[in-house]
Amino acid sequence: MIHKGTIRAYTPATHTASVQLTGSIAHHLTGIRVATNIPAAAVVAGRECTFLALDPNNPTDGLVLSIQGALPPAGGGTTDHAALTHLAYADAGHTGFATSGHGHAHSALTALDYASAAHTDFCSLATAQTITAQKLIDSAVGLRFGHAAGPLLQAAASGDDLTLTGDLAVSGHLGLANIDAKYPIYLAKTISNTSWTAALLAQITQSGSGAAYGVYGFAKHTGVATSQNILGLYFDAIHQNAYQLSNLEVMRTTARISSAGGVDTLYGIHLIFTYTGAGRPTTAIGIDVEDPSYPSATTTYGLRIYDVGYASSSYILELGPSPYLRLLGSGSWTPAANRTPLYLAEGATPTLRQVQWKAGNALVAGDKVMVLV
């Protein structure tokens, strides 16, 4: 049977109410269930209601069907969707999500504004998603960018920078597309500070058993044009202001040993010529020093080598395999009368001989005299 009544009290924890049936002044029905489609905010004491008595012999076995004087719930549901917390969306399409302006408190979906129109194809992060047939989210690798018709990462507008805060760790190869046809990697930056700067700082630490190269590369010409140049390393050191510099150096290298381990051979610069093809150079030059003179230079050197005196066998200069010419350093030569640190190879079977001098009237049989011819 259906009766008219009045709400006298409400218990939110059990969603039950105390109801006074119309015509019954002294007695209230307590613990009456309220229909689940009625929001808690609508069950207010004093409002009239519709009561359905399911068992005439047990008045408390009933249900509050409706509340008079209450507004309909926004969005047609409860305001607290606790069940949406950690919701795993299935691969199948989900439709009918309401906008955040409908008053729904989605605690796990904060700041997500679902449009009223249907949204489909939501899925869990454990399932691979696709954009142009490539996986976007893969449970094995995490976030992955596949090929797309346009750029996967793009600045908001022309001239904007893409800024990365922190380090960029790349476990594989880092490839840069040709921004300029001539310069696959182009570094251009004006820096003003009181310390030193570098266009490229390369540092590698080899912790295994292999070799280590600070900078390694090659320049290869595979075109069809003739009379072209190949430069393995080309660099200009340019002084361009009105101030006096201490040094201008095109290249500086340091071979440093800072451990207990030794080195079989230490090279400052090591040049190796190899010819594996059919072509051969017309002329091969190990080191070519152009005329270093300049009108305002006080002193110029084509090649200057300081004394080497740290070892018992020290040579400032040695030419040829035998050798043909040797110039001793102070570690191997002690100045003495008539003797020089210069040795020359002489004879049909070349013998290295020290260049000495004697007065002409002191020459004796067997003395070898060097003359200019």
What is the CATH T-level fold of the domain 2-70, as seen in this structure?
OB fold (Dihydrolipoamide Acetyltransferase, E2P) (2.40.50)
Alpha carbon distance 264, 275 (integer Å): 27
* Chain mean pLDDT for the chain: 79
pLDDT at 138: 56
Please write the tens of the pLDDT for every residue from 12-59: 999 999 999 888 777 788 999 999 999 999 999 999 999 998 887 887
Q: Indicate the pLDDT class of residue 86, thresholds 50, 70 and 90.
A: very low
Collect all residues with Cβ–Cβ distance below 8 Å to 2 and sequence separation of at least 6: 50, 51, 52, 53, 65
162 pLDDT exceeds 80?
no
- pLDDT average, residue stretch 116-140: 52
CB atoms within 10 A of CB 49: 26
Please check the confidence at residue 183 and state whether its pLDDT lies above 50.
yes
Other CB atoms within 10 Å distance of the CB of residue 35: 15
Q: Which residue stretches of the chain are H helix?
A: none
Instruction: Give 283-343 as a DSSP string.
Output: ---S--------TT-S---S-------SSSS-EEEEETTTTSEEEE-TTT----TTEEEEE
What pLDDT does 73 receive?
67
Verdict on whether the full-model pTM lies above 0.95: no
What value does the mean pLDDT take over residues 252-271?
90
Going by C-alpha positions, the residue among 261, 183, 250, 253 that lies closest to residue 215 is 253
Phi, psi of 167, rounded to the nearest 5 degrees: -95, 150
**Paired sense of beta strands 29-34 and 62-67, if any:** parallel
Domains of the chain: which residue ranges?
Answer: 2-70, 315-359
pLDDT of residue 370 exceeding 80: yes
Q: Is 60 helix (H, G, I), strand (E, B) or coil?
A: coil
Sequence-distant (≥ 6) Cβ neighbours of residue 372 within 8 angstroms: none
Q: 164 falls in which pLDDT band (50, 70, 90)?
A: confident
249 contact partners, CB below 8 Å, separation of at least 6: 237
What tens digit of pLDDT does each residue of 193-242 get? 898 888 888 888 999 999 999 988 888 888 888 888 999 998 899 999 99
Please give the average per-residue pLDDT across 81-93, as a whole number: 49
Q: What is the CA radius of gyration of the chain?
A: 46
Q: What is the pLDDT of residues 288-338, one digit of tens each?
A: 988 877 777 888 888 999 998 888 899 999 999 989 999 999 999 999 999
| CA–CA gap between residue 83 and residue 101 (Å, rounded) | 19
pLDDT band per the 50, 70, 90 thresholds, residue 144: low
- State how far the Cα of 184 lies from the Cα of 198, in Å rounded to an integer: 19
DSSP helix/strand/coil, 281:
coil
Burial class for 269, CB neighbours closer than 10 Å (0-12, 13-18, 19+)? exposed
For the record, the structure tokens of 215 come out as: 């900078």
Is the model's pLDDT at 100 over the cut of 50? Answer: no
**Is there a contact between 86 and 108 (Cβ–Cβ < 8 Å)?**
yes
Residue with the two structure tokens 């500086």: 252
Cis peptide bond upstream of 350, omega within 30: no
